[in-house]
Amino acid sequence: MTKPKADQIDLFAGRSVHELVEAHTSRDLLKVASNHIREPGRNSPIDILSGRRGARTIKSAAVRAEKALELQLGDNLPADELRSYAYAAWAHAGLPRRDLKDSMKRWTVQTDYATLTVSPGTRRLAEGGEAVPIGVPFGSYARLVLLDWQSEAIRNNSRTVHIGKSITDALRRMGLPHGSEAMRLLQEQTERLAVCTISFSLESGGRGLYLNQPVVESAEYSYGRGNKRFIESVTLSQGYYEQLLRNPVVLDPAAIVDLRDSPSALDIYTWLAWRLPALKGETKIGWVALKAQLGNGAALMKNFKPHFRESLIAAHSVYREANLELTETGLTLHPSPPPMPQKRLTRA
């Protein structure tokens, strides 16, 4: 059978991004996506792939397809440096995507079985001696910093995480691009995370967990150019660290970097990495439940659905093993292996 030309490919005849990559070269897919004209009001997968993250989505899927063939993941477990970790509670509810208008306002997310509240901390004393609130952490960089702290704590079996002597050192270690905006966001979100307080309440199967304390117990910082403060190391609070060791979610660090521009995709990826390996059978989740857990403040369902679809495709492109279907009524999940092989953790 003759393979159709790139501009004639019916890209989404019931196929996932990964199936497309296997059926066609990534170059063909990039050509189709770049030549496609988005239609107002539409949000089909081809519209998504021709959007601002389309090229990265296709590239991520193609790279992981090649990586899976090369590594033959299974008995040959990759080194611990190739894993990242998240505290499982963040799979139930996430930080805000955008900055809250009021720096003193708390952030609260409630679902059927989880409640998250994040309270802002203060940075330094104002001229009048009053503490200045700096707002709750938000966006992609808050998530990236938190994932970095959690991963380093587990890898090194220590609550103390050494961030670096400068913002440049921290960006390089985390594999993030340099630039003035990246430096500003990293510095801002690091400081907000270091002083905020979180409250998690989780219930399932007649049992529950309540955690109310700061993420960081102490932090060491220095002043650089412009008298700007940079946090060089943090020590996670004992309670947070213990819960992290008891309830880790294994993630692919390369996937985290690929999704760095989308807090929603990061949240969905973390949620899938936690939920799919634990499933015993097919599970259907309706739009209302998806919005409550992953809507992140979206007021209307008509606004949530297209954004969720786009973020889900991005998350799925970096989680090749995820077995799921997006339907008219919501999302259908099937048991799937984790994005990275599990590893037995040892407590300090």
In terms of C-beta density within 10 A (0-12 exposed, 13-18 middle, 19 or more buried), how is residue 16 classed? buried
**CA distances in angstroms from 340 to 77, 98, 184, 286, 296, listed in the order given:** 9, 29, 31, 27, 26
User: Could you tell me which of 175, 178, 176, 161 has the C-alpha nearest to residue 82?
Assistant: 175
C-alpha 146/C-alpha 247 separation (Å) is 15
pTM, entire model:
0.77
C-alpha 290/C-alpha 286 separation (Å) is 6
Beta bridge partners of 204: 207
User: Could you tell me which of 209, 219, 215 has the C-alpha nearest to residue 237?
Assistant: 215
pLDDT computed for residue 30 by the predictor: 55
Task: Convert 301-324 into a string of H (helix), E (strand) and C (coil).
Answer: HHHHHHHHHHHHHHHHHHCCCCEE
C-alpha 247/C-alpha 249 separation (Å) is 7
**CA distances in angstroms from 230 to 147, 186, 235, 309, listed in the order given:** 18, 10, 15, 37
CB 192 within 8 A of CB 143: no
Per-residue pLDDT of the chain (348 residues; tens, 9 = 90+): 444 444 444 444 444 555 555 555 555 555 555 555 555 554 445 445 545 555 556 555 555 555 544 444 444 444 455 788 999 888 888 899 999 988 899 998 887 777 889 999 987 665 566 778 889 999 999 999 999 999 999 999 999 999 988 888 888 888 888 888 888 899 899 999 999 999 988 777 778 778 788 899 999 988 776 667 889 999 999 999 998 998 899 998 888 888 888 899 999 999 999 999 999 999 999 999 898 888 877 778 888 888 888 889 889 888 888 999 988 899 999 999 998 876 545 444
| Helical ranges in the chain per DSSP H | 17-23, 26-35, 45-49, 54-71, 139-156, 167-174, 180-195, 238-246, 253-258, 263-275, 287-294, 301-318
Gyration radius from the chain CA atoms: 21
**CA distances in angstroms from 267 to 8, 111, 135, 143, 308, listed in the order given:** 35, 15, 20, 9, 11
- Rounded to 10 degrees, the C-alpha dihedral 137/142/148/153 comes to 10
C-alpha 30/C-alpha 54 separation (Å) is 8
Angle between helices 301-318 and 54-71 (to 10 degrees): 30
User: Could you tell me which of 281, 289, 279, 270 has the C-alpha nearest to residue 331?
Assistant: 289
